[in-house]
Amino acid sequence: METNKNFVIGVYSDPDQVVKAAEKIIGSGIKIHEVYSPFPIHGIDEVLGYKRSKLPIIAFLFGAMGTILALLMQFWMLGVDWPMIIGGKNFASLPPFIPVTFELTVLLSALGMVGTFMIISDLKPYKKPRLFDIRITDDKHVIAIDEAKNEMDFNKIKSVLEDTGAEEINKKNFE
Amino acid sequence: MEVISSVRPPLVTGGKTIADVTEDICKQVEAKPSKSWMMGMAISLAVLTVGLYATVMLLWEGIGMWGLNKTVGWAWDITNFVWWVGIGHAGTLISAILLLFRQKWRMSINRAAEAMTIFAVICAAMFPGFHMGRLWLGFYWALPLPNTFGSLWINFNSPLLWDVFAISTYFTVSLVFWYIGLIPDFATIRDRAENKISQIIYGALSFGWDGAARTWQRYESVSLILAGLATPLVLSVHTIVSFDFATSVIPGWHTTIFPPYFVAGAIFSGFAMVMTLMLVARHVMGLKDYITVYHIEMMNIIIILTGSIVGIAYLTEYFIAWYSGVPAEQYAFYNRATGPYWWAYWIMMTCNVISPQLFWVKKIRTSIVASFILSIVVNIGMWFERFVIIVTSLHRDYLPSSWAMFYPTFYDVGEYLFSLGFFFTAFLLFAKFFPIVNIAEIKSILKSTVSDIKTLE
């Protein structure tokens, strides 16, 4: 069977119940495709085994790049390329360059991190999302299980989901 | 002894369920514009039109149309600039600093406050643009472009240039922060949309958001880091604006207290503007369960705190002027309180230092009418603060023969009206077409407030 096409979904209302249900489902040997919810559920990432995001590191690297570029730009422009006498002061000195350096550090760090987030999460204006249930953005949480990646048949998965207190259990097929 | 801490009051009242939150906020977007919205829009557009006439005339004729003279070379334009930048501080403060301090009451107001920030920063940026006379050249004169574009490299030693970087970075980061928060809510509207046009528009705006746990995990990480970046950024922006004055050698401007004093004043005026807008929105859009008296009280407490810091700064300036022993410095401050602009000084003192102290009385700080009136009083006071700092420090020059007064012309007032008209038009459009409260964040705090209270009862 093809993967990423045929899913079994369990629908829940309570975020704490979702965490418990996910633990139980994984405990019974079923692989969860993903959990979808209208707001972040705390603790679900650990249950699903997601590692901490590396975005803070990305933000730091972009920030460091901003600092270096800003300093190079200012020292090169006013110190090397075209030195100007302004009020009889040094052509280039560090203290007056700090504000612009700080601002460019923050700017590159923020834009770099958000850009990375958009790319790795595949967020773009022309993307049509795959919605497992239209109520995900309203008040329901969904645990999606890819049938092709599990050896159990639908009825078995269904009975496990029923045990966890799912309100509804549906099949969802994407063409 | 056993100590039982009292249960915190719920942040969202009225026993709302998660579906209620979606319904309450989205129906504002989906319904036809209300009568009060149409009226507000008509007034804003009228003000904008008058302002537009003044602006077009100014750009055509040049800034000689303003009431500036050779002694007072900076007046309303920079007063308005600093005033708007100050107002633009509350949004990022609420969403960034209060996020780091885990103040959950910010969640009902952060979306609108951030929108306000973005519009206020655009209003602020107009004034240096107009002052450059040729708006269309001003944008690239300020950028680090090679000499072949007509001038030498820009001067990185100048506080006015630091301003360019500070304001544009602040604008960009605030915009990104705001937009990231909007994506899940746009998805909510997209999934409820019934007609084709809103499906397409909100579909594009929501960037294909599907609510996956992995995306939420990254989203939270991004929000936290952006808050961490925006916190020093918001403090840096008004610090750098104050450098425009503090690095000069004009008595009355040349003081080291300016950066913290300006930042406190900015937060003060920003919260006052958030209060004004939110009290109207709460009333008109029926958000009484989301913006409760508790929220209003918390904002008022921040207003007393920052208002008192500003008051202490005013007194410190006087002490330092006296203690410095510099006659020019002493005269500048003596002239502020007793000279020809004494009335502006005392309006500032009354509105900023004395009237916010009324909020010490619990009855006043939990009263909606009093909060609304005082929030407007504070913003009048903060406008006069900038006017006093700028005009009274300039109008009595070093030579008594060049002493002068500043009288605004229609064009000074017109630019100000233009910015006000733009601000309210933009805010009304936001309030109609965007979710005014952060739906996803409010949903995440419902469980820890409403249901706990219910079980205790």
Q: Is B192 on the interface with A (CB under 8 A)?
A: yes
Q: Is residue B214 within 8 Å of residue A51, measured between CB atoms?
A: no
Mean pLDDT of A53-69: 92
Q: What is the DSSP string of chain A?
A: --TTTEEEEEEES-HHHHHHHHHHHHHTTPPP-EEE-SSPPTTHHHHTTPPPPSHHHHHHHHHHHHHHHHHHHHIIIIIIIS---STT--SS-SGGGHHHHHHHHHHHHHHHHHHHHHHHTT--TTPPP--S-GGGGTT-EEEEEEGGG-SS-HHHHHHHHHHTT-SEEEEEE--
pLDDT of residue B457: 38
User: Which B positions 284-343 lie with beta carbon below 8 A of chain A?
Assistant: none
How far A5 CA sits from the closest chain B CA (Å)?
16
C-alpha dist (Å) from residue B263 to B11, B86, B226: 28, 8, 20
Residue A107 pLDDT: 94
Residues 56-75 of A with CB under 8 A from B: 56, 59, 63, 73-74
Which of A171, A107, A65, A165 is closest to B236 using CA atoms? A107
CB contact set of A72 (below 8 Å; sequence gap of 6+): none
* Tokens linked to B161: 């240039």
CA distance linking residue B125 with residue B131, whole number of Å:
10
Q: What is the pLDDT of residue B388?
A: 92
DSSP code of B429?
H
CB A35 within 8 A of CB A41: yes
Select from A37, A39, A94, A134 the residue whose CB has the most chain B CBs within 10 Å, as the one to mutate to test that interface: A39
Q: In b/e form, how buried is each residue of B300-336, taking b as 16+ CB within 10 angstroms? A: bebbbbbbbbbbebbeebeeebeeeeeeebbebbebb
Question: Vertex B383, ends B277 and B245: CA angle to 5°?
Answer: 130
Q: Cβ of B447 and A15 within 8 Å?
A: yes
B6 vs A: CB within 8 A: no
- Per-residue pLDDT, B451: 47
Q: Which two tokens stand for residue B253?
A: 């401007």
Enter the pTM of the model: 0.90
Residue B17: list chain A partners with CB under 8 A: 139
Q: If you write DSSP's letter for every residue of B157-168 in order, what string do you get?
A: T-HHHHHHHHHH
- Assigned token pair, B106: 């910010």
Minimal C-alpha gap between A110 and chain B (Å) = 6
pLDDT at A116 (0 to 100): 93
Nearest C-alpha neighbor of B213 from the set A152, A108, A121: A121
Q: How many residues does chain B have?
A: 457
- Interface touch A110/B229, C-beta < 8 Å: yes
Closest residue on chain A to B145 (Cα): A77
| B222 touches A: beta carbon within 8 Å | yes
Mutate to test the interface with B, among A62, A100, A103 (most CBs of B within 10 A): A103
Q: Residue A15 and residue A19: Cα distance in Å, rounded?
A: 7
Contacts of B154 in chain A (CB under 8 A): 77
Query: Assign residue A26 a region: left if phi > 0, alpha if psi is -120 to 50, beta otherwise?
Result: alpha
What tokens were used for A108?
């590159």
The answer, yes or no, to whether residue A169 has pLDDT greater than 50, is: yes
Point out the residue among A100, A130, A139 whose CB comes nearest to the CB of B162: A100
* 3-state DSSP assignment of residue B6: coil
Q: Which residues have C-beta within 8 Å of that of residue B18, sequence separation ≥ 6? A: A13, A38, A138, A139, B443, B446
Tens place of pLDDT per residue across chain B (457 aa): 666 666 666 777 777 777 888 888 888 888 888 888 899 899 999 999 999 999 999 989 988 889 888 889 888 999 999 999 999 888 888 888 888 887 778 888 888 888 999 999 999 998 988 888 888 877 777 888 876 665 678 888 888 889 999 999 999 999 999 999 899 999 888 888 888 888 888 888 889 888 888 889 999 899 889 988 988 998 999 999 999 999 888 888 888 899 999 999 998 998 899 899 888 888 888 788 888 888 888 889 989 999 999 999 999 999 999 998 999 889 999 999 998 999 999 999 999 999 999 999 988 888 889 999 999 999 999 999 999 999 998 998 888 899 989 999 999 999 999 999 999 999 999 988 888 888 888 888 776 544 444 444 3
**What is the residue-averaged pLDDT of chain A?**
85
Q: Which residues of B touch A40 (CB under 8 A)?
A: 216-217, 219-220, 440, 444
CA distance B157 to chain A (A): 5
Which residues from A are below 8 Å from B443, CB to CB?
Answer: 38-39, 139
Largest CA distance in chain A: 84
Candidates A9, A19, A78, A100, partner chain B, best to mutate (most B CBs within 10 A): A100
A137 with A129: CB under 8 angstroms?
Answer: no
Residue window 94-153, chain A: list those with CB within 8 Å of chain B. Answer: 96-97, 99-100, 102-104, 106-107, 109-111, 113-114, 117-118, 120-132, 134-139
Distance between CA atoms of residues B45 and B36, nearest Å: 14
